[in-house]
């Protein structure tokens, strides 16, 4: 399907993904008006979401159109693998791929979203005859997708120019969601999960000028408001990311982590700061 929007178009694609064990997967691409080629900004959505969530709710498209940036919205997991336990809970399995490459035998054939996003999806984009410049890529995301954006960026720094996140799962080896995911998807469990933990990865990076990260999260406000319940539940742990950044010697010019009071975990929060995130990436993608 294809729809005109903000002078450009958004189009849904479907293909068989080798890195997902031969399953079909879908993604959306927004292409602004003009000749291009346009730099590419990937958006990774959170738990229970799919390739439509960010495109429909994020309010990213008008700013991307104005900046001349293409947006790519992949799914959040493989679908239809028919693995026992895949559909039993909302925070694991379908819709909860955690943007890693599973190493536990049960999951390793299909749950390889890290390889799909970083390798196979860019190659698929090259086959579409779209005016995209894949030498200029950045990445952002929300919640589980914020975790994905930060970890993919930190593990593939030569591929992405910048990363940003809304309320990311910042320290998943210490959070219930992350512990559940790593204990099941990874043969080495939570210890292996440190290689997919933004806090752990940031601690390993030397403080240099090549890092460009923006994070917005919701802390607890005084007086108490409708704050992010998942922050309160210890799922996000953004303070750990702040500490890791400080210990590594980064300044706000390289790693800018901002607490926003009174919002919740929803797309109302995301849409409030969407324009700032798109313009942050535009600065790096168009440099």
Give the full edge-to-edge strand order of the sheet including 38-44.
2-5, 8-17, 23-31, 70-74, 38-44, 132-142, 163-166, 213-219, 255-261
**Which one of 110, 142, 265, 281 is the catalytic residue?**
265
**Which one of 77, 143, 162, 212 is the catalytic residue?**
143
pLDDT of amino acid 209: 62
pLDDT of amino acid 270: 97
**Residue range 39-69, pLDDT digits in tens:** 999 999 999 999 999 999 999 999 999 999 9
Q: Is 265 a catalytic residue?
A: yes
Q: Is 143 a catalytic residue?
A: yes
pLDDT of amino acid 223: 47
- pTM for the model: 0.96
| Residues sharing a CB contact under 8 Å with residue 175, sequence separation 6 or more, in sequence order | 169, 234, 235, 236, 237
The three-state (H, E, C) secondary structure of 167-201, written as one string: CCCCCHHHCHHHHHHHHHHCCCHHHHHHHHCHHHH
**Are 144 and 176 within 8 A, CB to CB?**
no
Q: Is 52 a catalytic residue?
A: no
| Residue ranges in the chain whose pLDDT is less than 50 | 222-223, 225
**Which one of 228, 245, 277, 281 is the catalytic residue?**
228
The strand ranges marked E within 119-275 are 132-142, 163-166, 213-219, 255-261
**Are 45 and 113 within 8 A, CB to CB?**
no
């Amino acid at each position: 399907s294809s729809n005109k929007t903000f002078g450009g178009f958004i189009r849904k694609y479907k293909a068989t993904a080798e890195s997902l064990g031969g399953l079909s997967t879908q993604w959306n691409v927004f292409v602004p008006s003009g000749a291009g080629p346009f730099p590419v900004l990937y958006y990774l959505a959170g738990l229970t979401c799919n390739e439509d969530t960010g495109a429909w709710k994020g309010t990213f498209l008008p700013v991307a159109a104005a900046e001349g940036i293409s947006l790519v919205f992949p799914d959040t997991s493989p679908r239809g693998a028919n693995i026992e336990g895949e559909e039993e809970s909302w925070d694991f399995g379908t819709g909860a791929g955690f943007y890693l490459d599973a190493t536990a035998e049960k999951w390793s054939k299909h749950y390889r979203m890290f390889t799909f996003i970083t390798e196979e999806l860019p190659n698929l984009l090259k086959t579409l005859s779209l005016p995209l410049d894949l030498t200029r890529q950045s990445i952002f995301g929300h919640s589980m997708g914020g975790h994905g954006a930060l970890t993919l960026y930190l593990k593939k720094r030569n591929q992405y120019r910048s990363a940003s996140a809304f309320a990311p799962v910042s320290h998943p080896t210490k959070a219930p969601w992350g512990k559940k995911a790593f204990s099941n998807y990874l043969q080495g469990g939570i210890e292996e999960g440190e290689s997919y933990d933004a806090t752990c990865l940031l601690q390993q990076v030397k403080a240099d000028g090549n890092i460009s990260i923006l994070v917005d999260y919701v802390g607890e406000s005084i007086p108490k408001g409708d704050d992010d319940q998942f922050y309160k539940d210890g799922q996000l742990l953004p303070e750990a990311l702040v500490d890791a950044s400080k210990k590594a010697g980064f300044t706000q010019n390289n790693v800018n982590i901002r607490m926003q009071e009174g919002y919740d975990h929803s797309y109302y929060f995301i849409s409030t700061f969407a324009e700032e995130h798109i313009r942050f990436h535009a600065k790096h993608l168009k440099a």
